[in-house]
Chains A and B, each alone.
Chain A
């Protein structure tokens, strides 16, 4: 799918007739327009700068900073370690099991949070019954549940999924409920005056209207589920990215810690972009210029 931004002439470029000093200043000024437009090329250029500058700083610091590699390994060390992890150890298996745990915990959470949040956001009675309780529980630290989870569930795969579930579920319920409450009342009342039944309103108006916001909530909570991975793999794990990070700490393999953290970040970024793409494809009507 070609983005609309790409076909529209770049306003910053249009304001720059010749590469004079004044024109360059104007183009720079255009970047500081409050909520101003930004062409696709400028966006990716800035995103590239934002990612590459820290990498460059890191390289310089580790090369010329005279810092012990135990404290700060260089990008090359991390890359080599990642390669050895793949060839000599089971990197693919670690990624696979971690993705499985995160996705399973998150999906289980979504499976219950979506209908429950729909009810909380639709009926004040259900809200009164469940929201204070949910608010109460969501402030409890997920890490503190580890002993209880081990006691109740054991130390097998389910316990890791359970920790991620506990870390994600209570936030997700409240966000889903909020998404549902944001459906404009006029949309609901219009359906009422058209004679829609209660279940028809929930299905054809509230759910349909909240869908884009719900997909966003699923995307954001997926990110939170990943942050609980290391915690989850504290529980008697012997595989996974979080476990690898914890083990590397024990052997002072700082480069492996770096590799694990960066890998989790990269996987998260990829999943996030996939969600955004899905959002664009599933809800073309949100973009007034598209689908015309």
Chain B
């Protein structure tokens, strides 16, 4: 190991320290994040799961600079996060594409912004055009390049959103349930695609989802958050080869074991264990016999 990579390993790219987020004031105050500490190394793929209301989206949005935080510190590359920045791209669940632009225009949207076009030399413009063409091919969007988003399926729309986010080579990709609105088959395709792309781009990814299987399949680490107050409950290392995942792995014993372990823990933290007892007591009361 050379000293450079050692230094990188020592300082995490994303460093959340004692982060609190409190909505409201007085007796109506809700603690969305309580003492959250999370370190993500450069090039790492971290997934965040948890029951609804656990603050996973709030944490992601705070890292993205879209949400302020009440206390603590979020450092990206050693600098505190105050606002959104072009080093952190975000992919939303839906409605974030611009329906009046074509697929190509959506992906090249950053090229119309002053923050990305300070360098107006012809070589930089050429490089950008080449980059967007490469992303269109990589995402399998070539046949749809001149179509408008509402002519595309949900899966294709999310490919455009990911390509658009990658366009300016962000250091960190923040994904907020990006496949939440897709059907199961499309989701599996998107999983392999995003793994391939993040490998190719060497992106650091923080990926929020409510789907435990998705979290294990994609993540090198799975962060489990718990609700009321929103906090990090536990962090799991995924015991699967990180570089080459395949759909068969979803059936591997260690995959299934981790899945049931995490699911069980989510039920515990959400207080959902009692639901089964409740159902049984209800069926006993049912005037069937």
Contact = CB atoms under 8 A, between A and B. Distances in A.
A200 B174 CA distance: 22
Given A194-B109, A197-B115, A186 B150 contact: no
B88 A208 contact: no
Contact of A192 (B66, B114, B164): B66
Contacts of A194: 86, 89, 109-110, 113, 115-116, 164-165, 168
B98 A189 contact: no
Nearest to B147: A292
Name the prevailing secondary structure of the A interface residues: helix
Q: How large is the interface on B (under 10, 10 to 19, 20 to 34, 35 or more residues)?
A: 20 to 34
Interface in B167-193: 168, 174
Interface string A200-211: 100011001101
Contacts of B90: 189-190, 193
A184 interface: yes
A288 B115 contact: no
A123 interface: no
A291 interface: yes
Contact of A208 (B86, B94, B98): B98
Nearest to B66: A189
Name, among A184, A193, A196, A288, the residue most crowded by chain B CB atoms within 10 Å (CB to CB): A193
A193 B100 CA distance: 19
A195 interface: yes
B71 to A, nearest CB: 23
Interface in A190-231: 190-197, 200, 204-205, 208-209, 211
Contacts of A197: 113-115
A292 B147 CA distance: 6
B92 interface: yes
A283 interface: yes
Given A189-B90, A193-B89, A195-B116, A292 B96 contact: no
Interface string B97-110: 11110000000011
Which 5 residue pairs across A and B have the least CB separation, nearest first?
A195-B115, A195-B86, A186-B96, A193-B90, A285-B148
10 contacts: A193-B89, A194-B113, A194-B165, A195-B86, A195-B113, A200-B114, A209-B99, A285-B100, A288-B151, A291-B151
